[in-house]
Amino acid sequence: MSALSLQRIGALALRYLYLLRSSWIRIVELAYWPTVQMILWGFITRYLAGHSDVIHQASGLLLSGVLLWDILFRSQLGLSVVFFEELHSRNLGQLFISPLQPLELILSLMLVSLARTLIGVGIAVLLAIPFYGFNLFQLGPPLASFFLNLILMGWAIGLMVSALVLRNGMGAESIAWAAIFAIAPLCGIYYPISTLPGWLQPLSWALPASHVFEGMRSVLLHHTFRADYLLYALLLNAGYLALGVSVFLGAIHGARERGSLLQSGE
Amino acid sequence: MTEAPVIRVDDLRKHYGTVRAVDGISFSVARGATCALLGGNGAGKTTTIAMLLGLLLPTGGQIRILGEDIPRQRYRVLPRMNFSSPYMDLPQRLTVWENLTVYARLYGVRHSRERLATLGRELDIDAFFKRPYGTLSAGQKTRVVLAKALLNEPEILLLDEPTASLDPDTADRMRSILTDYRDRSGATLLLASHNMSEVERLCDQVIMLRAGRIVAAGAPRELIQRYGRKDMEEVFLDIARGIQSGEVVA
């Protein structure tokens, strides 16, 4: 393996930047769903604040949950969808005959996913301040660790979904949207993990996001930052990310065995 | 001392289950030569080119390009080679300029603006630099993809049907550009084509494939003489129909 090149990673990131700036609808689309979600849950919070002790105690609980969830969702989608662009435009073959290495492709996908997540969720976070007087930054320094863990988990899932589509073709594209929702009930976004049936809880604790959302509740309800949650989440993410990278590289190797990089497309 | 070939292929094989797409071919191409891979559909031309590029992993055999083992050391060689095929696209929504800029950076081209401007003039694509690639005609796209392939001034240029979907005038200009580039840079060209007059004009070496095997090889004139035909078109038909050299067909 040759040395990784920042220039090549930047070149591919530039390709996605060009794509993004070619259409203002794409930029609006990035922020649209996070903002709609934030507005919806903001009203639900207002309603529940008068009827629920927990929400009354920490009115940011639901809005923090929805915005942090969107970090996970957008980072996964940002990585997968950008990779699908290459398949749609039948550009993957061109990329793989260039000096771009698979790890450089992965790093550029992560870079673009990060930018897309910051734009998309960032706008919703900022709009929540005038809309509901809710500031996600009230979570303080722990917010950075929550963000890091959610984005890492999103990338791991995004790589696995991209590998699946590379293996099975664009027919499997809808999995990119569905995959993350399959684990949403287990992550404890809006409720503690203890709410889940006992047999599901071990599965839930195996997900880095569950530790993040429990950590978030701990900060909002008890004003305590639980470093143990952060550590577990980081360890789990290291495993999931290694798995995601391996599966993605394996899918590229498989595509080179089958010759599908030449014909990959719609 | 004779210079080592820039492309050396030994007993190359690609099998898909029981299908032998490429079945033990060996050949070499000298520096500065222009070699054509010919054969009917499914003969193994594109499969061979894909293996040379490292896009496809061989079942067996060995490929050495510029002295490096492919696919193991492909990243050492890829910056020094390139490929053009009308069957591999570029991002549709990016403009021609944006597409070429991205690839110039991927190939580490210095002074990329100047290089793009030169290619724009040479390939007559500068008029639509600002248009999205997806809005171009098939012929315009072929020229842009060729511009991408020439960005890094490759030592080895692989071409799949370089003049497919071009009108005769543009195709003729493209052939001139390719020969000029080869003569100026000393590059080695390996092309797959169905256009026999193009092969006669451009190539000094021809490798004929059928069912994944090499069935004839040599200079175009040699093959024409060996098969007792008047041009490569007739030689191609003979070989595609399984007629051996010297056989007389009623």
> Which residue in A has a C-alpha nearest to residue B158's C-alpha?
A97
Kindly list the residues from chain A whose CB atom is less than 8 angstroms away from the CB atom of residue B160: none
Contact B55 A1 (CB under 8 A): no
Give the 3-state secondary structure of chain B: CCCCCCEEEEEEEEEECCEEEEEEEEEEECCCCEEEEECCCCCCHHHHHHHHHCCCCCCEEEEEECCEEECCCHHHHHHHEEEECCCCCCCCCCEHHHHHHHHHHHCCCCCHHHHHHHHHHHCCCHHHCCCEHHHCCHHHHHHHHHHHHHCCCCCEEEEECCCCCCCHHHHHHHHHHHHHHHHHHCCEEEEECCCHHHHHHHCCEEEEEECCEEEEEECHHHHHHHHCCCCHHHHHHHHHCCCCCCCCCC
pLDDT in tens, chain B (250 residues): 567 899 999 999 999 999 999 999 999 999 999 999 999 888 999 999 999 999 999 999 999 999 999 989 999 999 999 999 888 889 999 999 999 999 999 999 999 999 999 999 989 899 999 999 999 998 889 899 999 999 999 999 999 988 877 888 888 888 888 999 999 999 999 999 888 888 988 999 999 999 999 999 999 999 999 889 998 989 888 887 777 665 544 4
For residue A265, the model assigns a pLDDT of 44
A55 Cβ contact list (under 8 Å, min separation 6): A45, A48, A49, A61, A62
Contact B57 A1 (CB under 8 A): no
Q: The tokens of A205 are what?
A: 């604790």
CA distance A90 to chain B (A): 5
Contact A89 B101 (CB under 8 A): no
Name the packing angle between helices B138-150 and B96-106 (round to 10°). 20
Please choose, from the candidates A62, A81, A63, the residue with its C-alpha nearest in 3D space to the C-alpha of residue A179: A81
In angstroms, the CA B218 to CA B208 distance is: 9
The strands making up B156-160's β-sheet, listed across from edge to edge, are B81-84, B156-160, B188-192, B34-38, B205-210, B213-218
> Which residue in A has a C-alpha nearest to residue B132's C-alpha?
A22
Contact A97 B108 (CB under 8 A): no
Give the nearest partner residue to B79 out of A85, A95, A99, using CB atoms: A99
Model pTM score: 0.90
Contact A96 B90 (CB under 8 A): no
Kindly list the residues from chain B whose CB atom is less than 8 angstroms away from the CB atom of residue A13: none
Contact A18 B94 (CB under 8 A): yes
**Which amino acid is it at B164?**
A
- Residues in A whose CB is inside 8 Å of some CB of B read 1-2, 5, 7-8, 10-12, 14-15, 18-19, 22-23, 85-86, 89-91, 93-101, 253, 256-259, 261-262, 265
Kindly list the residues from chain B whose CB atom is less than 8 angstroms away from the CB atom of residue A265: 89
In angstroms, the CA B119 to CA A218 distance is: 61
In angstroms, the CA A151 to CA A136 distance is: 16
Please choose, from the candidates B105, B225, B108, B193, the residue with its C-alpha nearest in 3D space to the C-alpha of residue A15: B105
Q: Which residue has the tokens 């309800």?
A: A221
B103 Cβ contact list (under 8 Å, min separation 6): A11, A94, A98, B148, B151
B97 touches chain A (CB under 8 A): no
Contact A89 B91 (CB under 8 A): yes
Kindly list the residues from chain A whose CB atom is less than 8 angstroms away from the CB atom of residue B57: 253, 256-257
pLDDT in tens, chain A (266 residues): 678 999 999 999 999 989 888 778 888 888 888 898 888 888 888 888 777 777 766 678 889 999 999 999 999 999 999 999 888 888 899 999 999 999 999 999 999 999 999 999 999 999 999 998 889 998 899 999 999 999 999 999 999 999 999 998 877 888 777 888 889 999 999 999 999 999 999 999 999 999 999 999 999 989 999 999 999 999 999 999 999 999 999 999 999 999 888 765 44
Please choose, from the candidates B228, B167, B161, the residue with its C-alpha nearest in 3D space to the C-alpha of residue B198: B161
> A93-119 pLDDT, tens per residue?
999 999 999 999 999 999 999 999 999
Chains A–B, number of C-beta pairs less than 8 Å apart: 99
Contact A7 B108 (CB under 8 A): yes
Please return the burial class of A74, using the count of CB atoms within 10 Å of its CB with bins 0-12, 13-18 and 19+.
Answer: buried
CA angle A240, A244, A249 (to 5 degrees): 150
Contact A19 B46 (CB under 8 A): no
Contact A262 B55 (CB under 8 A): yes
Q: The tokens of A88 are what?
A: 């749609």
Give the nearest partner residue to B91 out of A91, A101, A257, using CB atoms: A91
| Residues pairing with B189 in the sheet | B34, B157
Kindly list the residues from chain A whose CB atom is less than 8 angstroms away from the CB atom of residue B78: 97-99
Q: The tokens of B42 are what?
A: 């499914």
> Which residue in A has a C-alpha nearest to residue B49's C-alpha?
A262
CA distance A52 to chain B (A): 50
For residue B246, the model assigns a pLDDT of 55
Please choose, from the candidates A210, A49, A39, the residue with its C-alpha nearest in 3D space to the C-alpha of residue A125: A39
For residue B250, the model assigns a pLDDT of 40
For residue A213, the model assigns a pLDDT of 96
Q: Cβ distance B81 to B156 under 8 Å?
A: yes
Q: Is the ipTM of this complex over 0.90?
A: no
B103 touches chain A (CB under 8 A): yes
Kindly list the residues from chain A whose CB atom is less than 8 angstroms away from the CB atom of residue B91: 15, 19, 85-86, 89, 91
Please choose, from the candidates A231, A55, A29, the residue with its C-alpha nearest in 3D space to the C-alpha of residue A142: A231
For residue A56, the model assigns a pLDDT of 66
In angstroms, the CA B59 to CA B81 distance is: 23
Contact A14 B103 (CB under 8 A): no
Q: In chain B, what are the domains?
A: 7-240 (3.40.50.300)
First to last CA, chain B: 48
Contact A256 B47 (CB under 8 A): no
